Structure 1
Amino acid sequence: MQLKVQGARMAHSKEDGYMGSVVFLVDGHKEAYEIFLQSDSGNDWNYSLLFHDEPGDEEEITAVEEWLEQDDDAFDALLEAAEEALDE
């Protein structure tokens, strides 16, 4: 799979840690995705993957979620996009 980042944001506060999101497309998929990222320390990340605007194919989002869990480079690319957008 190939992904293309459309937009990213990240903020940091003492209370919430790091919180951000990335909107991205995956080649061959009809709908855009948005991944929400959260980490207290900036090391261990929690995430939630959703369709960005419109609901899409459940099989496609499941495949993307499995891909992100297995492919560290893909997840790291999304995390890097968010980190580059950090508001400090």
Structure 2
Amino acid sequence: MKLTIMNASMKRDDEGAYLGQTIFQAEGYQSTFEITFFSKRGKEWDYSLHFTGDSGVEEEMLAVDALVEENDDVYDELLDAAWNKLPEDV
């Protein structure tokens, strides 16, 4: 599935944990999504998926969440988009 990355960011907090976001559209879906990533050390990541702006179609959210969960390439593309925005001086 083709993803269109619209925006991404990554930062570290005062305790060294990573927090990143990627805003994207998935081919075939009307909604725009934001995935938020969190990791204490940059190795094991938790994520949360939600609509950007107004609520969208729940079935789309469920389908995209399943895609992210089951397809490592999709997950990695979204995480890499955020990771690549981490300032080098951090």
Quickly name the TM-score band, shorter chain normalised. Answer: over 0.9
- Give the count of matched residue pairs: 88
Kindly state the Cα deviation for residue 14 of structure 1 after the two structures are TM-superposed: 4.3
Kindly state the Cα deviation for residue 25 of structure 1 after the two structures are TM-superposed: 0.3
**Are 1:12 and 2:37 counterparts?**
no
Kindly state the Cα deviation for residue 8 of structure 1 after the two structures are TM-superposed: 0.2
Runs of 5+ consecutive residues of structure 2 not aligned to the other structure: none
Kindly state the Cα deviation for residue 29 of structure 1 after the two structures are TM-superposed: 0.9
The corresponding residue for 1:45 is 45
Moved over 2 A (4+): none
The corresponding residue for 2:69 is 69
TM-score by length of 2: 0.92
C-alpha offsets along residues 69-88 of structure 1, whole Å, 9 cap, x if unaligned? 11000000001000111133
- For 2:4, the aligned partner's letter is K
In the alignment, the residues of structure 1 paired with residue 68 and residue 19 of structure 2 have an alpha-carbon distance, to the nearest angstrom, of: 18
C-alpha offsets along residues 10-55 of structure 1, whole Å, 9 cap, x if unaligned? 0013425000100000111111000000000111000000001121
- For 1:4, the aligned partner's letter is T
TM-score by length of 1: 0.94
- Percentage of identical aligned residues: 38
The corresponding residue for 1:60 is 60
Residue pair 1:17, 1:39 contacting (<8 A) in 2 also:
yes
